[in-house]
Amino acid sequence: MTVLSSSLASKHMVVTGGATGIGEQTCALLQAQGARVTVLDIRAPANPATRHLGLDLGDPQAIDRVLAALDTPIDALLNVAGLPPRAGQAAQVLRVNFFGLRRLTLGLLPRLVPGAAIVNVSSRAGLQWREHIEEVKALMALPDEADLDAFCAARGIDDTRAYNLSKEAVTVWTKAQTEALIARQLRMNSISPGAIATGILDDFKAAFGARVGHMVARVTRPGHAREVAEIAVFLASPESGWLKGVDIPVDGGMGALDVIDTCGLTPDTTDQHH
C-alpha cells in the first residue's frame, strides 16, 4: 500500500519520534508527498533538510519549550514516539507514552488548523483496555506531575504491565477526545501495530516471551515500519476525514488469529467450486 495524496502538498506535519523506525518512515512518506515536516525527537533525523526540535517526552518542561517554539499552524500531529517495555522503566514508560503524548497534544491544539488530524501510535499491547478500564481511568485522572513510581508500587504494576497500560490509555484517551475535537473541527485516531521489525523488537520479545515469536511465525513475518507509516499517513490525510476516534490494528492478522483462538473458529477450506 502506498498512500498518494496531493492534498498533503505544502501541509505542515509534526511527527514525534521521527528520527527512527516508524516515525522515520512516516516522515519520508510525508515529505515524498510534498509535506513540510517538523520532527520532535531526542535524536536528530538523518535528513538534514528536516526541521528538528529536540524533545524528551518524559520532561514536562522540555515539552513546554517545544510548545513555545512551535508557533506556526499545523495540519497534522503524528504521535509516534514511545518507549518499549524495559526493566526498571515502568514509571518512565507511563510518563513518555501517555503523559508526554497528552501534554504535547493538548498544548498544540490551538495551533491545529480546522480539519487537522491527530494520529496516535498505540499498540496491540493496548487492545485489552476494556478489561482494564478502571485502571486506565485511574491513570488518566492523574495530573502530568503525578508520582508514577508510587502509582505503580501501589497497584503492583511491573514493567510489562506499565507498557500495556500506557498503550491502553492512549487508545482510550483517543476515543475520549472525539466529541470535543469534533466541536473544534479536529479529529483523532490511533493505530495499534503488532510486532514490527524495528530496533526495539527485541525489547518486546524479552517482555512478552515466546508468544511474540509464535504469533510472528503464524503471520509469516514481523511487520515493516513502512507498512505502519502508510496507515499513519492515510489517517493524517483529508482522504480519511470520516474516521474519528477509531483504533486501527496494523498487525498482519494477529488480531484475527486471537479471535480464532478465543472463539474456537476453524477456517473454511472446503472447495465449493470444483
Full residue range of the structural domain in which residue 198 is found: 6-260
Domain membership flag for residue 268: no
| 204: confidence class by pLDDT, cuts 50, 70, 90 | confident
For residue 101, indicate whether it is catalytic.
no
* CATH code of 62's domain: 3.40.50.720
Return the residue matching grid coordinates 522503566. Answer: 89
Domain membership flag for residue 249: yes
Q: Is the entire prediction scored with pTM above 0.85?
A: yes
**Cα 6 from Cα 149, distance rounded (Å):** 46
The catalytically annotated residue of 99, 129, 163, 173 is: 163
Domain membership flag for residue 22: yes
Domain membership flag for residue 269: no
**Cα 149 from Cα 38, distance rounded (Å):** 32
Whether the Cβ atoms of residue 84 and residue 207 lie closer than 8 Å to each other: yes
Mean pLDDT in residue range 175-190: 98
Phi-psi region of 185 (alpha: psi -120 to 50; beta: other; left: phi over 0): left
Task: Tell me the pLDDT of the chain averaged across its residues.
Answer: 94
Interval 152-171: pLDDT, tens: 999 999 999 999 999 999 99
pLDDT in the model for residue 211: 83
pLDDT in the model for residue 273: 61
Domain membership flag for residue 127: yes
Domain membership flag for residue 58: yes
| 272: confidence class by pLDDT, cuts 50, 70, 90 | low
Interval 87-139: pLDDT, tens: 999 999 999 999 999 999 999 999 999 999 999 999 999 999 999 999 999 99
How many structural domains are present in the chain?
A: 1
Domain membership flag for residue 270: no
**Cα 17 from Cα 24, distance rounded (Å):** 7
Domain membership flag for residue 265: no
